[in-house]
């Protein structure tokens, strides 16, 4: 929550800084035009007052910009004060340069302030501007009537009502655009992190428009993006990022349901010899065939990933230690018996498997713990002679801590 507030404050500061320059330029241009028209007799008003208003607004904008630049942030209060200053400037300039019969121009010009507030700061700040405009305009009419000026109340109230209706319709429509655009941005931000689980809800758009088309376009490319980001191109299995996402999802589900979850860490035995004797292209052929065999052997709900050069992992939801062990043995048997063919020659391949299981306990149910323990069991299988399955337990963990790390890693890579 605090992080979101700081992020919004920095984003507000960025917008207000460039808007400060635009506000100063617009005020200078509008004040100059109004002053020239007043000198030509096209406008009625007080030229000195108009210049004072313009100079005050420009000075306030410059001062606010310096403060924001120094602090690097702008909270909701700073945004609200800026919007109210815009409204006050519109009222003051109109009063200084026009006769009371033309004060309706305030409503026309104020619509631009509403648009600015809604476009860059959201509906809440736009609503603040709307209430301020309606209240100030009503107060201006009351002040005119109290001073003896003729106020045509039916026409004025009708103009004010039309302004409120048009502004409210705009805020509702544009607010919907903003929310849906923010949702699409969130989808793309999630995709940037490799999360493609969520799709844009096209059915919720009762009146499809350009944003709906953007959402549909995202949905069309979502699966393609997921395949590129989460899949190993050589074997077609998940890659490390894909496995991490699947593991986080399954751990959360296992924790909620109190079910068991198992992870197998697999490594091809003596794979370096295949690369050295037959070449890396032959090694790629073997890896691709092993990946396909693992996918065929795994159950429908299991997730197979290639996590390194010759390293694979299989995530088994709703699987206890004995079931995971049997799965590991079945994988070893299938790989050992499979006729891997490279350039017309059969290549004998075996794998070592490490197994770890958890049962919905939050204290040990983390992706890092699972992978570390599966690797410890895998190293034990390597040192035990390869082509075998080892299941992680506390005794094995103590043994791994006493074993030289360099030797274990070296063995696991051969």
**What's the whole-number mean pLDDT along residues 400-408?**
47
**What's the whole-number mean pLDDT along residues 117-134?**
93
pLDDT value for 323: 95
- What would the pLDDT profile of 278-300 be if each residue is shown by its tens digit? 999 999 999 999 999 999 999 98
**Rounded (5°) CA angle 400-405-410:** 115
Domains and CATH numbers, the chain: 2-190 (no CATH), 240-412 (3.30.70.270)
**What's the whole-number mean pLDDT along residues 393-410?**
54
Q: Which residues contact 283 (CB under 8 A, 6 or more apart)?
A: 271, 274, 275, 310
- Tell me the C-alpha distance between 115 and 107, whole Å: 13
| Mean pLDDT computed over every residue of the chain | 88
Q: Does pLDDT of 400 surpass 70?
A: no
- Tell me the C-alpha distance between 222 and 235, whole Å: 21
State which of 47-61, 126-140, 386-400 shows the largest mean pLDDT: 126-140
pLDDT bin (cut points 50, 70, 90) of residue 410 is very low
Q: Does pLDDT of 27 surpass 60?
A: yes
Contacts of the segment 190-194: beta carbons below 8 A, 24+ positions apart: 191/222, 191/225, 191/229, 194/229, 194/230, 194/241, 194/242, 194/245
- What would the pLDDT profile of 264-281 be if each residue is shown by its tens digit? 999 999 999 999 989 999
Q: Are 259 and 360 in contact (CB under 8 A)?
A: yes
Q: Are 200 and 194 in contact (CB under 8 A)?
A: no
Q: Does pLDDT of 405 surpass 60?
A: no
Tell me which of 46 and 137 has the higher pLDDT.
Answer: 137
Dihedrals φ, ψ of 214, to 5°?
A: -65, -45
- CB neighbour burial string for 369-407, b if at least 16 within 10 angstroms, e if fewer: ebbebbbbbbbbbbbeebbbbbbbeeebeeebeeeeeee
Largest CA distance in the chain: 107
Q: Does pLDDT of 227 surpass 90?
A: no
Torsion of CA 170, 173, 176, 181, to 10 degrees: -80
- pTM for the full model? 0.60
Q: Are 225 and 196 in contact (CB under 8 A)?
A: yes
- What would the pLDDT profile of 309-321 be if each residue is shown by its tens digit? 999 999 999 999 9
**What's the whole-number mean pLDDT along residues 248-268?**
92
Task: Count the helices and strands in the chain (H runs, E runs).
Answer: 14, 7
pLDDT value for 174: 84
pLDDT bin (cut points 50, 70, 90) of residue 362 is very low
Neighbours of 82 (CB within 10 A): 24
Dihedrals φ, ψ of 315, to 5°?
A: -95, 125
- Tell me the C-alpha distance between 144 and 159, whole Å: 16
- What would the pLDDT profile of 154-200 be if each residue is shown by its tens digit? 999 999 999 999 999 998 888 888 889 889 989 988 887 778 878 99
Q: Does pLDDT of 397 surpass 80?
A: no
pLDDT bin (cut points 50, 70, 90) of residue 25 is very high
pLDDT value for 403: 54
């Amino acid at each position: 929550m605090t992080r979101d507030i700081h992020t919004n404050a920095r984003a507000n500061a960025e917008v207000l800084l460039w808007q400060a320059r635009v506000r100063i330029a617009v005020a200078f241009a509008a004040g100059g035009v109004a002053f020239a028209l007043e000198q030509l007799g096209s406008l009625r008003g007080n030229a000195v007052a108009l210049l004072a208003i313009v100079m005050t607004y420009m000075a306030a904008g410059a001062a606010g910009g310096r403060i924001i630049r120094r602090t690097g942030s702008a909270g909701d209060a700073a945004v609200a004060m800026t919007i109210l200053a815009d409204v006050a400037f519109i009222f003051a300039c109109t009063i200084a340069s026009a006769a009371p019969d033309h004060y309706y121009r305030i409503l026309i010009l104020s619509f631009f302030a509403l648009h600015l507030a809604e476009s860059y700061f959201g509906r809440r700040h736009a609503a603040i501007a709307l209430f301020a405009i309606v209240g100030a305009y009503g107060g201006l009419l009351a002040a005119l009537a109290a001073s003896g000026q003729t106020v045509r109340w039916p026409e004025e109230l009708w103009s004010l009502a039309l302004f409120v209706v048009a502004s409210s319709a705009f805020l509702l429509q544009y607010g919907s655009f903003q929310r849906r655009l923010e949702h699409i941005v969130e989808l793309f931000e999630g995709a940037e992190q490799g999360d493609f689980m969520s799709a844009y809800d096209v059915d919720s758009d009762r009146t499809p428009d350009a944003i709906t088309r953007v959402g549909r376009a995202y949905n069309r490319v979502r699966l393609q993006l997921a395949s590129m980001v989460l899949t190993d191109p050589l074997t077609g299995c998940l890659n490390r990022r894909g496995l991490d996402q699947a593991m986080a999802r399954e751990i959360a589900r296992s924790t909620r349901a109190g079910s068991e979850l198992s992870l197998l860490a697999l490594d091809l035995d003596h794979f370096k010899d295949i690369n050295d004797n037959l070449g890396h292209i032959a090694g790629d052929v073997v890896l691709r065939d092993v990946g396909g065999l693992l996918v065929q052997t795994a159950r429908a709900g299991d997730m197979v990933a290639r996590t390194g050069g010759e390293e694979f992992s299989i995530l088994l939801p709703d699987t206890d230690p004995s079931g995971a062990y049997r799965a590991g043995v079945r994988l070893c048997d299938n790989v050992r018996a499979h006729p891997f063919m490279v350039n017309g020659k059969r290549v004998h391949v075996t794998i070592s498997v490490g197994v770890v299981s958890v049962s919905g306990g939050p204290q040990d149910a983390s992706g890092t713990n699972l992978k570390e323990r599966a690797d410890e069991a895998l190293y034990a299988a390597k040192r035990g002679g390869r082509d075998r399955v080892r299941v992680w337990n506390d005794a094995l963990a103590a043994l791994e801590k006493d074993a030289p790390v360099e030797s274990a890693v070296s063995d696991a890579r051969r």
